[in-house]
């Protein structure tokens, strides 16, 4: 089936009290692992591409691989730009076959964020593409996303109606305590999310899809596995899965997960290479990486997001 936008998936997710997983993709094995899991779970899925991923793999490779996955699995899937920083990158993706883009104007002032987001919405909607905006700042360090803890800032519920009305965005990413990367909380720190802010936003924006970034849970068994097979990962703490399940029952319709996939894939590739020191065919260890990733995504869809059996 052709790629779809997130419109229908979010409408159904909101009503059904579940969320759609948005997983970051960089290569064929990742795309196959995620989409095979979505097919097995009979769930729609969002495949998202960051600026860094687009630079690494090239736009056309990722587009064609995702189109191939849609043909192969027949699962409703959206191809989404993650953390678009400028009008130009959003335009490139809209013109280049993406069905959804995020314009992340969260580092700008409220007015500048509105202006930039509105410009992207106008361009996207005229071409049948949906847009995610962001209000509030998440902490964390990734390739293209780099906000220190001190600069992180929760979303102000008093601003959301004006932002959504003036920009025309289709969904809104908010900051309620999640952050990017594998090190979300310090050892000994108790993970907490500001559900009170989410509730207030939900009241002010009835039936409007909310997006949660930085939602990896950093399963400890994979951290241990990385270290057991020669890695050196310091203590890493993520968002407890029960909290994500709660958020998915509320207005959160899209949950972004990248770090957990990296962790699962790396752990299994490390294990494979340590256990099979004579292997040098990439298909041998990448197949293990793909299987681990598929099982992780199945678990997220079934046990955390709740979107199994919705297609």
Q: Give the active site residues.
A: 82
Look at strands 139-141 and 146-147 and give their pairing: antiparallel
Q: How far apart are CA 232 and CA 307, in angstroms?
A: 34
82 binds ligand 13P per the rule CB under 6 A: yes
- Which of 88, 255, 253 is closest to 171 using CA atoms? 253
Total number of residues that touch Zn ion (CB under 5 A): 1
49 binds ligand 13P per the rule CB under 6 A: no
Q: In this chain, which stretch among 57-65, 89-97, 199-207, 253-261 interacts with ligand 13P, using CB under 6 A?
A: 253-261
Please report how the helices 28-41 and 59-73 are oriented relative to each other, as an axis angle in degrees rounded to 10: 30
Q: Which does 257 bind (CB under 5 to 8 A by kind): ligand 13P, ligand G3H, Zn ion, none?
A: ligand 13P
53 binds ligand G3H per the rule CB under 6 A: yes
80 binds ligand 13P per the rule CB under 6 A: no
Question: Smaller CB distance to Zn ion: residue 183 or 285?
Answer: 183
- Which of 211, 204, 198 is closest to 132 using CA atoms? 211
256 binds ligand 13P per the rule CB under 6 A: yes
Please report how the helices 220-228 and 259-275 are oriented relative to each other, as an axis angle in degrees rounded to 10: 30
Residues between 130 and 189 that touch ligand 13P (CB under 6 A): 180-181
Q: How far apart are CA 130 and CA 208, in angstroms?
A: 14
- Which of 310, 298, 200 is closest to 250 using CA atoms? 200
The set of residues, in sequence order, having a beta carbon less than 8 Å from that of 308 and lying 6+ positions away, is 41, 42, 43, 301, 302
Rounded to a whole number of angstroms, the minimum distance from the CB of residue 80 to Zn ion is: 11
Q: Which does 144 bind (CB under 5 to 8 A by kind): Zn ion, ligand 13P, ligand G3H, none?
A: ligand G3H
Among 9, 23, 83, 136, binds ligand G3H (CB under 6 A): 83
Question: Smaller CB distance to Zn ion: residue 70 or 135?
Answer: 135
Long-range contacts of 148-155 (CB under 8 A, 24+ apart): 152/179, 154/194, 154/197, 155/197, 155/201
Q: In this chain, which stretch among 21-29, 120-128, 185-193, 207-215 interacts with Zn ion, using CB under 5 A?
A: 207-215
258 binds ligand G3H per the rule CB under 6 A: yes
Residue 27 phi, psi dihedral angles, 5° rounding: -155, 180
Q: How far apart are CA 210 and CA 306, in angstroms?
A: 16
Total number of residues that touch ligand 13P (CB under 6 A): 14
> Two tokens at 285?
């260890």
Question: Smaller CB distance to ligand G3H: residue 144 or 311?
Answer: 144
Question: Smaller CB distance to ligand G3H: residue 233 or 287?
Answer: 233
Instruction: Name the DSSP class of 137.
Output: B
Among 54, 137, 213, 299, binds Zn ion (CB under 5 A): 213
- Contact footprint for ligand G3H (CB under 6 A): 24, 50, 52-53, 82-83, 142-145, 180, 258
- Contact footprint for ligand 13P (CB under 6 A): 24, 82-83, 180-181, 213-216, 256-260
């Amino acid at each position: 089936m052709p790629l779809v936008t997130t419109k229908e998936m979010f409408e159904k997710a909101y009503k059904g009290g579940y969320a759609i997983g948005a997983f970051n993709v960089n290569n064929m094995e990742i795309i196959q692992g995620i989409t095979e899991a979505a097919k097995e779970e009979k769930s729609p899925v969002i495949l998202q591409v960051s600026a860094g991923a687009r630079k690494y793999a090239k736009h056309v490779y990722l587009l064609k691989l995702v189109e191939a996955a849609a043909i192969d699995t027949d699962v409703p899937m959206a191809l989404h730009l993650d953390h678009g920083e400028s009008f130009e990158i959003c335009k490139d993706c809209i013109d280049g076959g993406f069905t959804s883009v995020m314009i992340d104007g969260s580092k700008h002032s409220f007015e500048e964020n509105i202006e930039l987001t509105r410009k992207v919405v106008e361009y996207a909607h005229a071409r049948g593409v949906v847009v995610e905006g962001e209000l509030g700042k998440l902490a964390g360090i990734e390739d293209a996303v780099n906000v220190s803890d001190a600069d992180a800032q929760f979303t102000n519920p008093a601003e959301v109606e004006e932002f959504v009305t003036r920009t025309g965005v289709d969904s809104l990413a908010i900051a309620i305590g999640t952050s990017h990367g594998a090190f979300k909380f310090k050892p000994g720190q108790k993970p907490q999310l500001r559900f009170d802010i989410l509730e207030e936003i939900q009241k002010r924006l009835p039936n409007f899809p909310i997006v949660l970034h930085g939602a990896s849970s950093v399963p400890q068994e994979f951290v241990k596995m990385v270290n057991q097979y020669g890695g050196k990962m310091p203590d890493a703490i993520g968002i407890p899965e029960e909290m994500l399940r709660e958020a998915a029952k509320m207005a959160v319709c899209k949950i972004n997960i990248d770090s957990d996939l990296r962790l699962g894939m790396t752990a299994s590739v490390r294990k494979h290479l340590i256990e099979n020191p004579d292997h040098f065919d990439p298909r041998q260890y990448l197949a293990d990486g793909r299987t681990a990733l598929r099982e992780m995504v199945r678990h997220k869809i079934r046990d955390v997001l709740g979107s199994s059996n919705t297609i």
